[in-house]
Chains A and B, each alone.
Chain A
Amino acid sequence: MTGTLSRYSRSSSLALGALLAGLMLLGVAFAAFFIVFASEENFLEETDTAILAEMRTARTVSDGGHDALDAWFEQSTANNPLGFLYGLKRSENMLPSGNIGGWPEGDIAVVKEGLIRFQYAASPSDEHRAAVARIMTLPDGRFLLVGRDVTSLNRAQWFAQTFGWIMIALFVGFAVACLIVGWYVANRMNRISDTANRIINTGNLSERVQVDSSWDDLSKLSAVLNRLLGELETTMMGVKSVSDSIAHDLRTPLTRLRGDLDRLPESETRDQLLVEVDNILGIFTSLLRITSIETERRKSAFDDVQIGALLADVVEMYEPLAEEKSLSLRLTTAPCTLHGDRDLLFQLFSNLLDNAIKFTHEGGVTIEATATGGSLRISVCDTGPGISPAEREKVLRRFYRVDKSRSQTGNGLGLAMVAAIAELHVATIELAEGKDGSGLCCHLTFERIA
């Protein structure tokens, strides 16, 4: 599960999608703030201040007596440059005067303390409009209403809030879309890399990346990858058929030549020729084996291999050789299984041991297998002359031989075969000097799946 999650979390397209979604959420926060800011209370603050100021004027005037207020009221109602609404009611049952065509009734809401909202119509034929107002009781017991028309303000506030909500909806929609697109791209990328991985692991070049549409760049990439795989497959087939023809065209006559040589009367020349032919045949066999390991990448013979028992068999096989040269041969191993090809692993370690014994003239060879966590490290170390750091990389190539070893038998393919087998088993090879700075150590690290 965590594996699946990390496959998505490490995707750049999904990361970009998430980043954009994050930015969109910032937009949502901004729009929300905007909506709160555009509340009725904030919108009406200015209006309320104006109403309160006008009321203070009215109170001052009313201190001058009943008539003074009447005069002020009449003048204000008639000549009203600031667009205030006024109403004056003598008592509960009397008809009010003023410019609001009556007294607020019915649908009255309290905006905040003392401030009310209501609908009015200046004359019965007019449209109803929205207004806010405050009402005060005058010293003589009458009620004075001072208010303002807020129809356009209300409309502006409605627009602002609606705009805010639309912004939120759009941002949330975009964020979701970004995540979906990111996931979609990551998912398809993962499918492409899964296929590529499977091809690398199984060596089955006939597999293809799935192309599920044809309109976008990813489909184009898939198609190009498929064409590349096709080319690779053809090339590999070519390599295979070339090596097959080498097998047929060169090995068969060589074998026949060897048979003919063998039937000649015994002589020193004949024996020398036989050794030469055997060498050439050996090179062909090794070369074809390496090629087949590298190109076929067959894992059908893979099984759980008891590595301790296998190493013991290799050591047992080479012990007489070490004994002949008075070299010590030590094996330290832990019981441990490895998923691999038993015959090829035997070949790998026997090549390493063969080399180590061949180049060591005193001291000995040690093989050490240590399992740590999910990996298995096997080191083959000798006390021979070692290989200079500059040459370590090269010895894994075909036919490369360190100069001073030219006199030794062998065809320079032993380590190349080791490298090919190690690669098939997804193991890493590291050539280093021994613990005390002399000799050569070959460290192989296998990732254990079992």
Chain B
Amino acid sequence: MRILVIEDDTDVVGYIEKGLNELGFTVDTATDGKDGLFLATTETYDAIITDRMLPGVEGLTILNALRASDIQTPVLVLSALSSVEERVKGLKAGADDYLIKPFAFEELAARLEVMIARSKPTGAEQTKLQCFDLEMDLLARKVIRSGRPIELQTREFKLLEYLLRHQGQVVTRTMLLENVWDYNFDPQTNIIDVHISRLRQKISTNGSVQLIETVRGAGYRMQAPS
């Protein structure tokens, strides 16, 4: 997997590059907008991470130029501009995700993986999701674990659906808040953890395998036992 990082702060570039290398990505870097745009348009990448405020060409300009020349590489925009308005502006310009600086590397990695997975064509829209012995029927809105039906409330169903759709990937608490609850806010307590533990209880039976794993410092991952 090849990733292009366009960012003028060399500390941040080093931080991202080191982390991504550890995860097995190949990383190209550009420290100004012009170089970034050149690399983005001439090379093929699986994903591009770009800062918004760059010397030379601005981040959103690069994004617009890419989309204008029909390059659909997923782009994650980094920015210190945190207001909702700026965020909406970035997403409207064709960004696939928007992350506010400073960020934990785990948040970036989780979002990057989800973004890359989403950009790969999966064929027809799935109506059934499965993880090990847990099955979800999206049309009938039913969940079955080892043949036993499980009653879930609407939000719990959505939470489980999101985890199932991103099996094997780390999803962060912020990603869950944005996608399952659809609210952009800072919880004062570990409220997401409480919801996850409740969901875990509901989908587990005596002696069953734990499917939702806590990834310390990052979030959660749904995975079938190997």
Report if A and B associate in a common complex: yes
Residues of A participating in the B interface, judged by any CB pair closer than 8 Å? 244, 247-248, 251-252, 254-256, 258-259, 262, 274, 282, 285-286, 288-289, 292, 296, 298, 300-301, 313, 316-318, 320-321, 324, 341-344, 346-347, 350-351, 354-355, 358, 409-410, 414
Interface-central residue, B19, B187, B189, by most chain A CB under 10 Å: B189
Total contacts A-B at CB 8 Å: 87
Which residue from A252, A262, A274, A313 sits with its C-beta under 8 Å from B101? A252
A-B contact pairs, 27 of them (CB 8 A): A247-B80, A247-B82, A247-B101, A247-B102, A248-B80, A251-B101, A252-B11, A254-B102, A255-B104, A256-B11, A258-B104, A259-B15, A262-B106, A274-B217, A285-B186, A288-B82, A298-B83, A298-B84, A300-B84, A313-B183, A320-B194, A346-B183, A347-B186, A350-B187, A354-B187, A354-B189, A414-B188
Q: In angstroms, how far is the closest chain A Cβ from the Cβ of B220?
A: 16
B85 touches A301 (CB 8 A): yes
Q: Which residue of A lies closest to B183 (CB)?
A: A346
B189 touches A409 (CB 8 A): yes
Interface-central residue, B153, B191, B195, by most chain A CB under 10 Å: B191
Measured between alpha carbons, how far is A409 from B186 in the docked complex, in Å? 15
A292 touches B82 (CB 8 A): yes
Besides A247-B82, A247-B102, A321-B189, 20 more A-B contacts (Cβ < 8 Å) are A251-B102, A255-B103, A255-B104, A258-B104, A259-B19, A282-B186, A300-B84, A300-B85, A316-B153, A318-B191, A320-B195, A321-B191, A321-B194, A341-B84, A342-B183, A346-B185, A350-B188, A350-B191, A354-B191, A355-B188
How many residues from B make CB contacts under 8 Å with A? Answer: 31
Known: A317-B181, A346-B185. Is A256-B85 also a contact (CB below 8 A)?
no
Q: In angstroms, how far is the closest chain A Cβ from the Cβ of B51?
A: 12
Residues of B within 8 A of A358 (CB): 189
B84 touches A255 (CB 8 A): no
A255 touches B186 (CB 8 A): no
Q: Which residue of B lies closest to A271 (CB)?
A: B216
Residues of A within 8 A of B216 (CB): 262
A343 touches B15 (CB 8 A): no
Measured between alpha carbons, how far is A357 from B84 in the docked complex, in Å? 29
Residues of A within 8 A of B183 (CB): 313, 342-343, 346
Residues of B participating in the A interface, judged by any CB pair closer than 8 Å? 11-12, 15, 19, 80, 82-85, 101-106, 153, 155, 181, 183-189, 191, 194-195, 198, 216-217
Measured between alpha carbons, how far is A19 from B223 in the docked complex, in Å? 84
Residues of A within 8 A of B191 (CB): 317-318, 320-321, 350, 354
Interface-central residue, B19, B153, B187, by most chain A CB under 10 Å: B187
Measured between alpha carbons, how far is A414 from B185 in the docked complex, in Å? 12
Which residue from A252, A254, A298, A316 sits with its C-beta under 8 Å from B85? A298
Measured between alpha carbons, how far is A99 from B84 in the docked complex, in Å? 108
Measured between alpha carbons, how far is A32 from B81 in the docked complex, in Å? 75
Residues of B within 8 A of A317 (CB): 181, 191, 195
Consensus secondary structure, chain B interface: loop
Residues of A within 8 A of B104 (CB): 255, 258-259
Residues of A within 8 A of B186 (CB): 282, 285-286, 289, 347
Residues of A within 8 A of B106 (CB): 262
Q: Which residue of B lies closest to A248 (CB)?
A: B80
Q: Which residue of B lies closest to A251 (CB)?
A: B102
Residues of B within 8 A of A288 (CB): 82
B188 touches A354 (CB 8 A): yes
The 3 closest A-B pairs by CB, nearest first: A255-B102, A347-B185, A252-B102
Q: In angstroms, how far is the closest chain A Cβ from the Cβ of B157?
A: 13
Measured between alpha carbons, how far is A255 from B108 in the docked complex, in Å? 12
Residues of B within 8 A of A282 (CB): 186
Residues of B within 8 A of A259 (CB): 15, 19, 104-105
Which residue from B19, B101, B185 sits with its C-beta under 8 Å from A350? B185
Interface-central residue, B82, B155, B186, by most chain A CB under 10 Å: B186
Residues of A within 8 A of B153 (CB): 316
Which residue from A298, A318, A343, A351 sits with its C-beta under 8 Å from B184? A343
Q: In angstroms, how far is the closest chain A Cβ from the Cβ of B151?
A: 15
Measured between alpha carbons, how far is A241 from B80 in the docked complex, in Å? 12
